[in-house]
Amino acid sequence: MSNKLYRIYVGAICNRDLEIFQEIKKFCSKNYNISIVNLFKSGSDKFNVKYFKKRLKKYPISLIIVKLYSEASNQIIYDALNLYAPNIPVLNSLNSVKICESRKNTIQFINQKCKKLYTPQIYPTFNEAYEACKNGKNIIIKIDTHNVPSLPKNDRILGIAENLDQFEKLTAEFKNSNLFFQEYIGEFDLVYKIYVIDRWVGSITSHNRLQERNDLSPLDLIHMRAPVEKQFKRRVLRLGRKLGMAIFGIDYIITNDGIRYIVDVNDFPSFRSIPEAVSLISDYIYNILFVRGQTYKASVKVHG
């Protein structure tokens, strides 16, 4: 019987980086006969539990992709998945998606679970950060929520406090907000970005957004591929396994003495500078559904 008679359904609860997601959807349909079904109601980015239940009844979904902006309302999505789709695998675990919504939770997870990966010191509370600044530490202050809707990436970083006056000015409007405080370990022109898709690991260079420079040529601004040291690659992959993420990205800097400090983790990043990402992600979806035998018998629907 021709493979064209079979169609596998993957559910999607996604509302960010939709450009690459649409490309993955097209690739999966054309090459693997996999349909990616939107579990948001058409024309809306608000999750509707009743609509979600209807889609689950209509389509025998074998896998769910969750790729969300960080919002309090996401808890409704997590609850619905746990209640109505507890046995359907999720591409990146729900726990990892929730952890990556908070910078503080992400870095604390790395510090607790991956002792051989390094991060700049964080200060969990306002008072701890204030005291550290008082004692001479430079503190970088960010919005703790990671993927904030309609907030440019640059605006998620409030600034660097080198003294208490600066600390108080930077936090004056945000004292009741959820802020992330981390030791600022110096100026780095380049930030390295690692992208992981299953066992594939790629890296590019990116100019640090904290440095305001007008002397960069178009060539300078190109994201260049960068090698990933073998041991560091193994540790990054181990982080993904412990978090329950197969598709993720990290940002890191390298100090003069060669230490790599992770400064950011992103579940399912945009992959804008990785042209092969669409095919790699689609291949991975195919592999976990077919090659690894994780698809349900009920997910195979014959169309005559």
Quick: pLDDT tens for 222-241. 578 999 999 999 999 999 99
SS3 label, residue 264: strand
Mean pLDDT, rounded, for 251-278: 94
User: Terminal CA-to-CA distance of the chain, rounded, Å?
Assistant: 11
- Count of all residues that appear for the chain in the document: 304
Q: What is the pLDDT of residue 222?
A: 55
Q: What is the pLDDT of residue 155?
A: 85
Quick: pLDDT tens for 82-120. 999 999 999 999 999 999 999 999 999 999 999 999 999
Quick: pLDDT tens for 41-59. 887 878 999 999 999 999 9
Triad 261, 212, 142: Cα angle to 5°? 50
Q: What is the pLDDT of residue 176?
A: 66
- Strand pairing class (247-254; 61-67): unpaired
- Strand pairing class (190-197; 200-207): antiparallel
Triad 179, 94, 100: Cα angle to 5°? 25
Whole-number average pLDDT of the chain: 89
Which runs of E-coded beta strand occur in 74-138? 122-123
Which runs of E-coded beta strand occur in 68-178? 122-123, 139-143, 157-161
User: What is the helix (H) or strand (E) element at residue 116, kind and residue range?
Assistant: none
Q: What is the pLDDT of residue 294?
A: 46
Q: What is the pLDDT of residue 216?
A: 45
Q: What is the pLDDT of residue 46?
A: 87
Q: Please state, in angstroms and rounded to a whole number, the distance separating the CA atoms of residues 160 and 182.
A: 10
The order of strands in the sheet holding 122-123 is 122-123, 179-183, 139-143, 157-161
- Strand pairing class (61-67; 122-123): unpaired
Quick: pLDDT tens for 10-53. 999 999 999 999 999 999 999 999 999 999 988 787 899 999 99
Distances 154 to 143, 159, 210 between C-alpha atoms, Å: 11, 10, 8
Q: What is the pLDDT of residue 293?
A: 57
Q: What is the pLDDT of residue 209?
A: 52
Q: What is the pLDDT of residue 192?
A: 94
pLDDT band at 300 (very low <50, low <70, confident <90, very high): very low
Q: What is the pLDDT of residue 261?
A: 98
- Strand pairing class (61-67; 6-14): parallel
> Percent of the chain, pLDDT > 70?
88
Q: Which two tokens stand for residue 164?
A: 């208490």
Which runs of E-coded beta strand occur in the chain? 6-14, 34-38, 61-67, 122-123, 139-143, 157-161, 179-183, 190-197, 200-207, 247-254, 260-267, 301-302
Give the residue from 170, 261, 258 showing the smallest Cα distance to 208.
Answer: 261
Give the residue from 23, 53, 26 showing the smallest Cα distance to 39.
Answer: 53
Mean pLDDT, rounded, for 204-212: 67
